[in-house]
Chains A and B, each alone.
Chain A
C-alpha cells in the first residue's frame, strides 16, 4: 500500500510544483499521466526519495518513509527507473545489474533480465554503461536494473521515452507479467495509451494536483475522448493537428 498525504514541493526558484497531492493505492499497476510540466516526474522522485517534500508524508505499507533517504527507501523495497539513464565510465551492464540484484548473476539470469527489455545479453553484458550506448539502449538497461531488483514497489518515469516500437511492445508485456505475478507493484509515469490500457488505476496529475483518479475503465475513456479538450489544439477550431 502506497499512501501520499498532502504532499507539497517547490523548485529551488520557489515555484510550487507539487501543490497538495494525496493518493492512496494498493493497485498492482498504477499509471500516473497528465500534461507536461504538471509535476509527474517530481512526484516519482518524491516517492523514490530523490527529492524531499516540503510538507506532507509518504507511507509504504503503513510505515512513514518521508524522512528516509534514497538508500533507505531502496532497502525498504522501492526501485526507481530514471527518465534519463545515468552513464558511467567503467561500470559495465553486468556490474549494474549485479549491484541492482544484490548478488552475482549467471549468464542465464542476465539473459532473462535483458531479454525482458529486448536486448541480447551476449552483446551487452560486458559493455560499459557509457556514452557509446545509444539513448534507447541505455534506457532499456536502466529499466533492466529496476527489474533486477524484484522490488516491492517499482517506479518507472516515462519508460517508453527513447525506445523503439519493438522494445516497447516487449516492455508492455513485461509490465503485464509483473502485474499478473504474485509480488511487486508498479507505478508508471506515462502518456502511452498502451500502458494506460493495462493499468489497474489511472491518476491524472496536472498543475501539481490530482485532477482525476480511479479505475482504468472509469478514467481512460474520458481521457481518450477528451485528449484535445485540455489543450489549445487546432482541432478545437476545426483545424488539423
Chain B
C-alpha cells in the first residue's frame, strides 16, 4: 500500500518516534495531522474522523462521528529549530458513544541560541457517553543555548457519562513548561489523569489542574508523579471543586535528587454535602531501604536509583 505523503524533516521523524509511536515503514495507523514548525506536514482524515483547518486561528478541528469505536487519531507537533514560536488551537469534538484514542505529544529541538516554543491549546468536547484515551508525550532535544519551551493548555468539557483518560509524560530536556489543564464534568462523567514529569539541570515545570465536578456522580482521579534532579524546580497546583454528589481523588508524589525542588499546593473545595474529596501528597528523596534492596539483587547504587526513577515514571 502506498503511504500518503508526509513532508517532515529527519529531526521531526526522530521526535515523532518518541512522542507518537511513529513508524517510518507503516506510517500512522489512523487519521493524523502532523505539525512541524508551525506548518502542516501531513494530514489524513478517516471515514469516521474528519480533520479540517480552522479559519479564525492557526490549528485544526477534529470531529469524531458518534459511536466510532477503536480508532486512533494522531496530532503530534514538532518544533525543529531556534526562533520558532508555535501557537496552535486544536479542538476535538467527540460524538456520542464514541470510544477513541488521541495521540498528541510535542517535540522541541533547538540547536541555536534563540528560544523555541510550542504552545498547544487543546479543547475537548465529549458528547454523552463518549470515551477518549488522550496520550501526550513531551520531549526536547538539542544542544543550543536557546530555551526549549512547551506550554500545553487542555480544556475539557465532559457531558453526561463521558470519560476522558489523560496519560501525559514529559521526558526531559524541556527547559520550561507551564501546563494548564481544566475540566468541567456533567453527571456521571469521569476524568482520569496520569501525569509524570522528569526535570534535571535548571529546568522548570509547572502543572496546574482545575477540575469542576458539577454533575451528580461525576468523578476525578488525578495522579501526578514527578522527579526533580539537578537544580530543577517543579510546582504542582490542583484545585478540585465538588459541586454535587461526586468523588475526587488527587495524589502528588515527588522524588527529589541533588538540589531538586518541588512545591505541591493541592486544594479541595467542597460545596455539596455528598462531595467526597481526598488528596495525598508525598515529597522526598529515594528511600535508603529501596536502594539497599536493589543493591542486594546485585545493582550498584547508581543503577538502583535509575531503576527506581524509571519505575516511578513508567
| A positions within 8 Å CB-CB of B | 48-50, 69-71, 74-75, 79-80, 82, 86, 88-92, 95-96, 99-100, 102, 145, 149
Contacts and interface: CB of A to CB of B under 8 A. Distances in A.
Contacts of A50: 292, 296
B314 A102 contact: no
B292 A149 contact: no
B300 interface: yes
Interface string B300-314: 110000011011111
A139 B26 CA distance: 46
A52 to B, nearest CB: 13
A73 B67 CA distance: 59
B236 to A, nearest CB: 16
Given A91-B308, A99-B307, A70 B225 contact: no
Given A88-B312, A90-B312, 18 more contacts: A48-B296, A70-B295, A71-B298, A71-B300, A71-B301, A74-B297, A75-B298, A82-B289, A88-B290, A88-B308, A89-B253, A89-B312, A90-B314, A91-B307, A92-B311, A96-B297, A99-B294, A149-B298
B13 interface: no
B293 interface: yes
Shortest Cβ-Cβ A-B pairs, 5 listed: A90-B311, A91-B311, A74-B298, A90-B312, A86-B293
A91 B304 CA distance: 12
B6 interface: no
A99 B290 contact: no
26 contacts: A70-B295, A70-B296, A71-B295, A71-B298, A71-B299, A71-B300, A71-B301, A74-B295, A74-B296, A74-B298, A82-B296, A86-B287, A88-B290, A88-B311, A89-B225, A89-B311, A89-B312, A90-B310, A90-B311, A90-B313, A91-B307, A95-B307, A96-B297, A100-B297, A149-B297, A149-B298
Interface of B is mostly: helix
Kindly name the residue among B287, B308, B310, B311 whose own CB sees the greatest number of chain A CB atoms within 10 A: B311
Contact of A70 (B253, B287, B292): B292
Nearest to B312: A90
Contacts of B292: 50, 70, 86
B81 to A, nearest CB: 35
Contacts of B312: 88-90
Nearest to B251: A89
A189 to B, nearest CB: 15
A92 B289 CA distance: 17
Nearest to A142: B293
B198 to A, nearest CB: 13
A102 B313 CA distance: 22
A86 B313 CA distance: 18
A96 B296 CA distance: 11
Nearest to A89: B312
Kindly name the residue among A50, A74, A90, A145 whose own CB sees the greatest number of chain B CB atoms within 10 A: A90
